[in-house]
Amino acid sequence: MMLALELFRSLPRTVAGKTLGGRVPMVAGMAAPLRLVTIEPPRVDRPSWVRLRTKLSGICGSDLGAVAGKTSLYFSAVVSFPFVPGHEVVAELMDDCDDLPKGTRVVLDPVLCCAPRGLELCEECTAGRTNRCTRITVGNLAPGLQTGFCTTTGGGWSQQLSAHRSQLHVVPEGYSDEQAVLIEPMSCAVHTALRAGVTPNDRVLVSGAGSVGLLATLALRSLTPAGEIIVVAKHGHQRELAVALGATEVVTPKEVLRRVRRLSGAFQLEPDFSRGYLLGGVDVAVDAVGSRESLETALHATRAGGRVVLSGMPAAADLSAAWFRELEIVGTYASARDEVSGRGAFEIATELVAHDAVAQLAKSVAPYPLHRWREAIDHAQSAGRLGTVKVAFDPRKRG
Amino acid sequence: MSRPGFVLEVDDRTPPLLVHEGLGFRMEDFPLGTRVVYPPEPIVCVPDVDEAIREALLHPVESEPLPELLKPGMRLTIAFDDVSLTLPTMRAPDVRQRIIEQVLTMAADAGVDDVALISANAFHRRLTPKELQHIVGERVFRSFYGQGLLTNHDAEDHDNLSFLGRTEQDEHVVINKRAAESDLLVYVNVTLVPMEGGHKSVGIGLSSYRSLRHHHNNETMVNSRSFMDHKNSELHASAWRMGRVIGEQVKVFQIETSVDNNVFPKPYDFLMKREWEWSVRDQASMLGVRRGLAVAPQRLRHKIFHDLRAPYGLTGINAGAVEPVHELTIAKVHEQQLVEVQGQSDVLVLGVPYLGPYNVSSSMNPILATCMGLGYYFNSYRGQPVVRRGGAVILYHPLDEGFNQLHHPSYVDFYEEVLAESTDPAVVGQKYEAQFAEDPWYIHLYRTSHAYHGVHPFYMWYWAAHAMDHVDDVIWVGGNRRAAARMGFRAASTLLDALEMASDTVGANPSITYLHNPPQLIADVR
């Protein structure tokens, strides 16, 4: 038996979370349809599957959305209840698995594509675009887009989970667990940067300076020929980290349009009873939050014909600018096994988290034991304000 | 008979003294021994303004009388000082109206049909129709505005600017094309402070960035000792060089006026009087106004002050050639404003009032307050600054009026972005001035809305450059701490706190001088 946090179907809790979560401090955890349970460890008795003992598992924005009932019902068809959340996982192998001996420390590519499901590879998986797999509801596993949303595999918010060899990436020696837990979000940032289509000296806006925005900033600076990178940050520590990770300008949400306008020589318009927008602006904008405000900021600050990249799970927003300014809207979900020149996102991400600023950021990861999950969720909801970039569960901790 | 200005030394019998601070004032107890410099009382005014104008036009200085310069079929342009003068706005009729009406009458008598009027606003905001009407009067406004013959100068309308050449120091001289191509350019000026008038009128008021950048910069302003003394001002030296280039190609008929320092109408006239001479009525007015301002919301206080119209009297009018006319004007201004002060002090105290040249019907944002205090008032000296090098300046202003988005859009960016990086006028000028000057959005707002040009906040900062270079400490009494810190200064709650803070710079027992203005005064420091 093991301890795990389990997300279950509960209409009253979902409604309460949707209403209060994120708005009223200290109640997000109370209202969440989440419970601490003692259950049988998940086990998949098929070749190349292995049991993992969790060391750290991060709390991501999509986890918070699910807990707070804010995730679009669009995703209800690609999850299986009840499930153990947690897809940012650092763990060690409890058994030998193919070429990996027991005790190997790994991070998890959470996407449950054709290979883990025991299926013949679909066209997307064959091309290495595993995050676009078309078979994520079938095969040997219950529906689930990722580990952490699938009832069969379990997730990182527990003492133990199961994973397929194709999902496992060995953590190099010398990396702390806190650094390693950032590899999965870093891989998403790598994918975001490569999907952003940045051309030499493009002016790029990153709207948001949580972990997604900060890591995207590093990826954009390291992997693309971006010129200026303007990061929208609310809090002091975010501003410092953004600069350390490659931002050329850091602005507050209140001043972003004005600053982009000045940097790009754009014109600013103020429509009636609506948000201001620019005629002109950045070449590429990355929404790294997913809120309506952040997405509209990205849309309104991008030049005609520019590109808006959805890195955070997007909320409903006014898309008038996308039509009027002929913007390219680009989604970026998770990461692909083959990103560029045959290299996978995890391979690139593993290199990038060695960056000094990421190592510094890793030191601020706030670990919680599973039984303090309400505090952890509340902390994660207010991470920016509380000076934290990443909150994680450490199931090994007792107090 | 008016009394000259004088210097009071604060002693046991000195009552609390009035200090302006934005949309209000306070009564301050100054330390014993503080020197308080009071401006002269209003000097004798011209008894018949219309007759004085007529006399000046018919008997100009080093020029033919105006009627002899006016010929049928000629092209005549009348340019005039904009809304930044006078401060406060002059009670109607404005003296410029009375002059323009006489000039137009003479032009009509001479059969001149091609006449246009231009507000010489350089990079200042465009005047509203109402403001134009106040300056030129209802009749002139009605006759010219609707036909597009009464306009604001547009320093970004490159098709309507003329390049007249270069000075011996390679400064580009560009002015308004209509003015440059006129057979006669009549300039109607109001010289409120010695900085105004002379070759500054046409050479700056009708110019463009191509010309302005030569003298509106940090280096020039630091080397203008002071810009209120045109013979020791690099700013004016440059303008004078340009003026001579203009004079070689354009016939300029300069009309300059000076006014007394009767700036506050009743019942606010106690603000101009010496406190120990306040009558019971003055004291009652002071208490009433003070109490009212204390409870009034900022918007109401703003309206109360900005609706004031000054009952200025005309002290002099001269017309003709620019330079001799200006010498006569400056002599009159000095007669009204000059006060002899013996030696410098360690600390200079200044009250920054609600109004400066660039916030008429607008807000005195922190940059404008700095320009007013460290620019205009600090530079109100002749000879040497009132405060010694390495001394301290203590200013009164709450720095809480915020920014007017209509009038000062680029100020917000200057404050939030530029000053966050550096407050050194030389550094910010070098890195950011061109960006702001060439920003198409600011240019658009300047040309089509009522915004000051994008580069204007830099000029305000340069205006204060001499003071920043000269003193070691600047402290704002009652000032918003964040705003003061953003500008590289400090804020204190009281004068005593400010003196305590300044003690590191000037010692525990500094000599203090308080310039009791407005009304405007020029300290003639010996």
Q: Determine, for residues B439 and A262 on separate chains, whether the beta-carbon distance falls below 8 Å.
A: yes
Range of the domain at B482: 6-43+281-308+338-525
Query: Pick from A258, A259, A267: which is nearest to B444 by CB?
Result: A267
Q: Is the pTM of this model over 0.80?
A: yes
Residues B375, B289, single domain; the answer is yes
Judging contacts by C-beta atoms under 8 Å, the chain A residues touching residue B416 are 255, 258-259
CA distance B395 to B483: 13
Beta strand B150-152 with B114-119: parallel, antiparallel or unpaired?
A: parallel
CA-based nearest residue to A295, from A213, A189, A177, A188: A213
In a domain, B407, yes or no: yes
pLDDT band at A11 (very low <50, low <70, confident <90, very high): confident
Q: Determine, for residues A268 and B416 on separate chains, whether the beta-carbon distance falls below 8 Å.
A: no
Q: Determine, for residues A268 and B440 on separate chains, whether the beta-carbon distance falls below 8 Å.
A: no
Separation in Å, CA of B441 to nearest CA in chain A: 5
Q: Last residue of a domain, which of B224, B259, B294?
A: B259
At A140-168, the pLDDT tens digits run 999 999 999 999 999 999 999 999 999 99
CA distance A218 to A227: 13
Judging contacts by C-beta atoms under 8 Å, the chain B residues touching residue A265 are 439-441
CA distance B258 to B240: 20
Q: What is the ipTM of this complex?
A: 0.76
Q: Is B412 near chain A, with CB under 8 Å?
A: yes
At A291-321, the pLDDT tens digits run 999 999 999 999 999 999 999 888 899 999 9
Q: Is A355 near chain B, with CB under 8 Å?
A: no
In a domain, B205, yes or no: yes
Beta strand A34-39 with A2-7: parallel, antiparallel or unpaired?
A: antiparallel
Q: Which architecture does CATH list for A2-181+365-393?
A: Alpha-Beta Complex (3.90)
pLDDT score, position A70: 81
Return phi, psi of residue B499, to 5°: -65, -35
Separation in Å, CA of B123 to nearest CA in chain A: 19
Q: Determine, for residues A267 and B416 on separate chains, whether the beta-carbon distance falls below 8 Å.
A: no
Residues B458, B499, single domain; the answer is yes
Residues of chain B with pLDDT under 70: 1
On the question of a cis peptide bond just before residue B93, with omega within 30 degrees of 0, the verdict is yes
pLDDT score, position A27: 57
CA distance A29 to A342: 42
At A21-48, the pLDDT tens digits run 555 555 555 667 899 999 999 999 999 9
Residues B438, B456, single domain; the answer is yes
Q: Determine, for residues A262 and B435 on separate chains, whether the beta-carbon distance falls below 8 Å.
A: yes
pLDDT score, position A12: 74
CATH class of the domain at A189-331: alpha beta
pLDDT at A397 over 60: yes
Separation in Å, CA of B439 to nearest CA in chain A: 6
Query: Pick from A258, A266, A267: which is nearest to B412 by CB?
Result: A258
pLDDT at A387 over 80: yes
Judging contacts by C-beta atoms under 8 Å, the chain A residues touching residue B457 are none
pLDDT at A50 over 80: yes
CA-based nearest residue to B221, from B238, B207, B206, B204: B238
Residues B132, B219, single domain; the answer is yes
Separation in Å, CA of B485 to nearest CA in chain A: 18
Q: How many domains does chain B have?
A: 2
Domain extents in chain A: 2-181+365-393, 189-331
pLDDT band at A275 (very low <50, low <70, confident <90, very high): very high
Judging contacts by C-beta atoms under 8 Å, the chain A residues touching residue B412 are 258
The tally of CA atoms less than 13 A away on the side-chain side of residue B89 is 21
Q: What is the CATH number of the domain that holds B96?
A: 3.40.50.11440
pLDDT score, position A71: 85
A350 CB-near residues (< 8 Å, 6+ apart): A107, A169, A171, A172, A183, A186
Q: Chain A interface, mutation test: which of B415, B416, B418, B433, most A Cβ atoms within 10 Å?
A: B416
pLDDT score, position A399: 62
Judging contacts by C-beta atoms under 8 Å, the chain A residues touching residue B441 are 261-262, 265-268
Q: Is B441 near chain A, with CB under 8 Å?
A: yes
CA-based nearest residue to B87, from B518, B382, B522, B523: B518
A309 CB-near residues (< 8 Å, 6+ apart): A192, A195, A196, A284, A285, A286, A287, A298, A330, A331, A332
pLDDT at A243 over 70: yes
Q: Determine, for residues A258 and B413 on separate chains, whether the beta-carbon distance falls below 8 Å.
A: yes
Residues B107, B26, single domain; the answer is no
Q: Determine, for residues A266 and B417 on separate chains, whether the beta-carbon distance falls below 8 Å.
A: no
pLDDT score, position A28: 56
Contact present, A150 and A139 (Cβ < 8 Å)? no
Looking at chain A from residue 232 to 261, which residues have their Cβ under 8 Å from any Cβ of chain B? Answer: 255, 258-259, 261
In a domain, B271, yes or no: no
pLDDT score, position A31: 66
Contact present, B211 and B174 (Cβ < 8 Å)? yes
pLDDT score, position A164: 97
Taking the CB of residue B248, how many other CB atoms lie within 10 A of it? Answer: 10
CB contacts < 8 A (A, B)? 21
